A = this chain, B = another copy of it.
Amino acid sequence: MNRLQLVDQIKKKSSYLCVGLDTDIEKIPKHLLKADDPVFEFNKQIIDSTRDFCVAYKLNTAFYESLGAKGWESLRKTSEYIPKDCFTIADAKRGDIGNTSSLYARAFFKNMNFDSVTVAPYMGEDSVRPFLEFEGKWVILLIHTSNKGSDDFQTLETRDGKFLYEEVISASQLWATPDQMMYVVGATHEEKFSSIRMQAPDHFFLVPGVGAQGGDLEKVSKAGMNDQCGLLVNSSRAIIYASSGENFADAARKEAQTVQLEMKKLLNEQLR
């Protein structure tokens, strides 16, 4: 999915919600455990019930890898099941020397059909570039993450008086256009959203950390939106585990709709 198509979907659905399929086999409703592939079954029902209210799905690969080859298969099946009008994110936080990153890119872009992969910047340009060589695919680069440890290194000040994450933004803008690259900016850093938006006016930001981690949707949206919206705000646990009973899919739908309605309001306010 390209940028234009993504912006279209956001307008059409009045939503910039990304649903995080952090599917933990220990947390899904018990009645699903009878299914052949409980994780896929859970994902399928969550996707069916939330697809009207979100524009993207993010699959954190850790949840699937922790189940071995079977989990990897659930990941692949889910990536294929997601409707084509939704943007797909392999939240893999990969990054390795060039020839190795190419293999990761192949895993997520060719063997599976993800639109994007999250990539860690520590190893520099040649660890990111192989992901950019796939036509129509995206790199979502970690900039300032939502976790506590995000201040350990990301906000170290360099000799030029910039934060490390600002150096990552500057450098990476030479590697790819906003049509191929997005940035991960955690909702827990709402005070930094305006300055990051100034430094990267056109990039989409993938925003984790709203909800369970304490980020505030309204503040983040007001500070971070650009004239094409420019945000994908992720919610995982609050939506997919809205209920642990047999009504989990309905509960997820309601929760997704609640977020979408708030987003609609914010889009109307910000983009008028």
Contacts and interface: CB of A to CB of B under 8 A. Distances in A.
A126 B213 CA distance: 14
Contact of A94 (B24, B63, B93): B93
Interface in A131-157: 142, 145-154, 156-157
Contact of A154 (B67, B98, B122, B159): B122
Interface stretch (A1-9, A49-57, A99-107, A240-248): A99-107
Interface stretch (A69-77, A221-229, A252-260, A264-272): A69-77
A72 B62 CA distance: 13
Contacts of A111: 66-68
Nearest to A110: B66
Contacts of A41: none
Interface in A183-229: 208, 213
Interface of A: 22, 24, 60, 62-63, 65-70, 72-73, 76, 93-98, 100-101, 103-104, 106-107, 111, 120-128, 142, 145-154, 156-159, 161, 164, 167-168, 171, 208, 213
12 contacts: A22-B100, A63-B103, A66-B106, A66-B111, A93-B95, A120-B123, A122-B122, A124-B148, A125-B148, A125-B152, A152-B171, A156-B167
